[in-house]
Amino acid sequence: MRHWLMKSEPDVFSIDDLAKVDIEPWSGVRNYQARNFMRDDMREGDGVLFYHSSCAQPGVVGIARVASAAYPDPTQFDRRSEYFDAKARRETPRWMLVDLRFERKLAGPIGLTELRAQPRLSDFALLQRGNRLSILPVTRQQWDVILGMESPRRGH
């Protein structure tokens, strides 16, 4: 099983939104590298760190699972969608997506500054200079380190 980090702007779609719908098709990715991760490398059941970006408190806020194989992003064919792509053809879809399933929120968010302060995450793609990718691979070790930073639940 592989692990991933996926960014979302909470003003647009937050971890609470994912909790409400339970399963969400991850439409709108229009970056080839991110698409390739979904199309070529993701498998149902892969673990996903759900990350809030472009907000007051950027950081990992929850865990999701990849809940489907990759399939064509329907918004690329929808003229009314902001993600419409006039060059996409149904026979040769350009953009692929996977479904995400909510697993749980973290006991507390793990902020970007906390992640940066963890020496064992110095190689983490999220923390590299100039990184803008919305989908990033996470190693098993990084996954364990990050979840080990989760603040303990009250009463345990």
Partner DNA sequence: GCCAACGTTGGC
**Residue 12 binds to DNA (criterion: CB under 7 A):** no
3-state secondary structure of 2: coil
Closest separation in Å from C-beta 153 to DNA? 26
Q: Kindly tell me which of 1 and 12 has the beta carbon lying closer to DNA.
A: 12
Candidates 29-37, 69-77, 95-103, 143-151 — which segment interacts with DNA by CB under 7 A? 29-37
Q: Which two tokens stand for residue 110?
A: 């793990």
Closest separation in Å from C-beta 87 to DNA? 8
**Residue 33 binds to DNA (criterion: CB under 7 A):** yes
User: What would the x/- binding string for DNA be over residues 48 to 77, using CB under 7 A?
Assistant: -----xxx--x-------------------
Radius of gyration of the chain (CA): 16
Q: Kindly tell me which of 32 and 84 has the beta carbon lying closer to DNA.
A: 32
**Residues 135-154 within binding reach of DNA (CB under 7 A):** none
Question: How far is the C-alpha of 115 from the C-alpha of 155, rounded, in Å?
Answer: 25
Q: Which two tokens stand for residue 30?
A: 């229009």
Half-sphere exposure in the Cβ direction for 12 (13 Å, CA): 11
Question: How far is the C-alpha of 114 from the C-alpha of 2, rounded, in Å?
Answer: 23
Candidates 62-70, 101-109, 124-132, 137-145 — which segment interacts with DNA by CB under 7 A? 124-132
**Residue 156 binds to DNA (criterion: CB under 7 A):** no
Q: Which two tokens stand for residue 124?
A: 């983490």
Q: Could you give the C-alpha distances from 44 to 3, 37, 76, 101, in angstroms and in order?
A: 11, 13, 23, 10
State the residues that interact with DNA by CB under 7 A.
7, 9, 31-33, 53-55, 58, 112-113, 116, 129-134
